[in-house]
């Protein structure tokens, strides 16, 4: 009789930024299939999701991945339900309107690697600052690069877990890195970012680091951290029309503040109009414009207006479920049917 370790992962109810929680369930003769993952429960009064007098919340498995660090183990992403089986108010995955997986998302997750002894990003000396940004982005060598061993190990773990991991690069500040994930289907895209974040945080325990997702952890003349959301649906992938692209972009203008509301806390510190961002007070779009709210990638134009858009506003601490759900709602509001040219 074999035993498997199932690590159930979920989002708590903390505001303004939800955190990851997890616990291990041992199952005998487990098949490795999602449909065989049992419903489980947890104490919601300890995660800001229930009152002490009625504290049980349910965990509904929604995605499963092999655990790359536990032989025969699995990572089980779960939605939080109320005791009656309805979606908990903190469960934003359940609110996504993409049942046909027509929307594809590629998220670019930026983050800072922090030293637990100094509470500073790797590469920042005590009591001072390293040289100004400019030489760190995609750099090579010990003079400008910190944390590569950790980042490479995280990449290997994600690939081993079956996450559709697309790449890594050092970002513009010391200790700042980025990874990218892509998925067909908004819920799947959110699952993969959250599980990748889980593996990132779990790995930090071994190195004596911690992960900082605040969008502006280092004040001053330094870039903040975002989570650019690249997205498409059948219309964007096939329309071949500049006019349709502009109509979809314009649909974002009247609801710009609604997007900002779900794009991550403290994003006003990052979206200043400087450091490759648009001001949080403005809305703009443009071809190959990294200072715009929404960038139209040049490759989309070169392919005859068939491709995707990049919303550059989401913060590094944003919830990909909320972000994807809001983008889908806005794109659908444009009411443009897919017509291939």
Average pLDDT over residues 39-44: 97
Provide the residue ranges of all domains of the chain, joining segments of one domain with +.
Answer: 3-91, 104-333
Predicted local distance difference test score (pLDDT) of residue 250 = 97
Burial 46-69 (b: 16+ CB within 10 A, else e): ebebbeeeebebbbbbbbbbebbe
**CATH hierarchy code of domain 104-333:** 3.30.590.10
Predicted local distance difference test score (pLDDT) of residue 338 = 53
**CATH hierarchy code of domain 3-91:** 3.10.20.70
- The Cβ of residue 186 has, within 10 Å, a number of other Cβ atoms equal to 26
Predicted local distance difference test score (pLDDT) of residue 52 = 80
pLDDT digits over 133-188, tens only? 889 999 999 999 999 999 999 999 999 999 999 999 999 999 999 999 999 999 99
pLDDT digits over 237-263, tens only? 999 999 999 999 999 999 999 999 999
pLDDT digits over 43-97, tens only? 999 999 999 888 999 999 999 999 999 999 999 999 999 999 999 999 999 999 9
CA–CA separation, 91 and 82 (whole Å) = 10
pLDDT digits over 215-235, tens only? 999 888 889 999 999 999 999
Predicted local distance difference test score (pLDDT) of residue 127 = 73
């Amino acid at each position: 009789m074999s035993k498997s370790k199932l690590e159930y992962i979920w989002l708590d109810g903390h505001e303004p930024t939800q955190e990851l929680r997890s616990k291990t369930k041992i199952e005998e003769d487990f098949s490795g299939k999602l449909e065989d993952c049992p419903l489980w429960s947890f104490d919601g009064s300890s995660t800001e999701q229930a009152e002490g007098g009625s504290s049980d919340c349910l965990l509904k498995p929604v995605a499963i991945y092999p655990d790359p660090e536990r032989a025969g183990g699995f990572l089980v992403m779960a939605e939080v339900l109320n005791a009656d089986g309805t979606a908990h108010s903190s469960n934003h995955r359940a609110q996504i309107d993409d049942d046909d997986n027509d929307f594809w998302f590629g998220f670019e997750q930026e983050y800072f690697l922090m030293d637990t002894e100094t509470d500073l990003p790797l590469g920042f000396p005590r009591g001072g600052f390293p040289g100004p940004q400019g030489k760190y982005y995609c750099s090579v060598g010990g003079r400008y690069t910190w944390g590569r061993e950790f980042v490479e190990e995280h990449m290997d773990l994600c690939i081993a877990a079956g996450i559709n991991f697309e790449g890594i690069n050092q970002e513009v500040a010391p200790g700042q890195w980025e990874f990218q994930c892509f998925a067909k289907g908004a819920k799947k895209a959110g699952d993969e970012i959250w599980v990748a974040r889980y593996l990132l945080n779990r790995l930090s325990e071994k190195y004596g680091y911690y992960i900082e997702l605040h969008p502006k952890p280092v004040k001053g003349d330094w870039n903040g951290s975002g989570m650019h959301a690249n997205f498409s649906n059948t219309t964007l992938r096939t329309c071949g029309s500049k006019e349709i692209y502009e109509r979809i972009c314009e649909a974002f203008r009247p609801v710009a503040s609604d997007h900002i509301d779900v794009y991550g806390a403290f994003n006003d510190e990052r979206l200043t109009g400087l450091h490759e961002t648009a001001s949080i007070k403005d809305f703009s779009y443009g071809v190959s414009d990294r200072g715009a709210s929404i960038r139209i990638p040049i490759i989309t134009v070169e392919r005859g207006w068939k491709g995707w858009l990049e919303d550059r506003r989401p913060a590094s601490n944003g919830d990909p479920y909320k972000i994807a759900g809001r983008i889908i709602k806005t794109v659908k509001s444009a009411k443009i049917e897919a017509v291939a040219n």
